[in-house]
Structure 1
Amino acid sequence: MKKILLSLVALATFGFVNAQSRDKGTIEITPKIGISSFAEQNEENFTNSNSGVELGVTVDYYFNNRWSLRSGLVADKMGGKYRDGQSFLYEDQLNYLSIPINANWHFGSTRKWNLNFGLSPSFLTSAKFNANGTTIKLPKNALESFQLGFSYGIGYKIEITEKFGLLIDAQFFNGLTNINKATDERILNAGYSFNLGGVIQL
Structure 2
Amino acid sequence: MRKILTTLLITAGFCTAAFSQTKGTTEFGINVGYNGATVTAGNLTNTDYKSGFNAGVSVEHYFSESWSFKTKLLYDQKGWDNGFYGTKTTNYSLNYLTVPLLANWHFGRTKNWFLNFGPYVSFLLAASESAGGQDVKPYFNTVDGGLDLGIGIKFPVAEKTKFFIELNGQGGVTDIGKNNSGSSIKNSLSSINIGLTF
Asked whether the two chains share a fold, i.e. TM above 0.5, the reply is yes
Given candidates 129, 145, 149, the residue that maps to 2:146 is: 149
Given candidates 166, 171, 176, the residue that maps to 2:168 is: 171
1:24, 1:65 within 8 Å by CA — same for their partners in 2?
no
Q: How many residues align?
A: 172
Give every structure 1 segment of 4 or more consecutive aligned residues whose post-TM-superposition deviation is greater than 2 Å. none
Between the aligned partners of 1:98 and 1:111, the Cα distance in structure 2 is: 27
Verify: 1:159 aligned to 2:156, yes or no.
Answer: yes
1:165, distance to aligned residue in structure 2 (A): 1.0
Aligned letter for 1:30? G
Look up the match of 1:7. Answer: none
Between the aligned partners of 2:89 and 2:67, the Cα distance in structure 1 is: 45
* Unaligned stretches of 5+ residues in structure 2: 1-21
1:106, 1:114 within 8 Å by CA — same for their partners in 2?
yes
2:145, 2:174 within 8 Å by CA — same for their partners in 1?
yes
Call closer, same or farther: CA 1:83–1:150 in 2, change over 3 Å.
Answer: closer
Between the aligned partners of 1:137 and 1:45, the Cα distance in structure 2 is: 20
Look up the match of 1:111. Answer: 111
2:37, 2:51 within 8 Å by CA — same for their partners in 1?
yes
Aligned letter for 1:153? G
1:183, distance to aligned residue in structure 2 (A): 2.8
2:123, 2:144 within 8 Å by CA — same for their partners in 1?
yes
2:70, 2:102 within 8 Å by CA — same for their partners in 1?
yes
Aligned letter for 2:34? I
1:24, distance to aligned residue in structure 2 (A): 4.3
Verify: 1:57 aligned to 2:57, yes or no.
Answer: yes
**Aligned partner of residue 59 in structure 2, secondary structure:** strand
* Unaligned stretches of 5+ residues in structure 1: 1-22
Between the aligned partners of 1:58 and 1:109, the Cα distance in structure 2 is: 25
CA RMSD of aligned residues (A): 1.7
1:19-69 superposed Cα distances (whole Å, 9 cap, x missing partner): xxxx94211111001111100111256710100111011111110110000
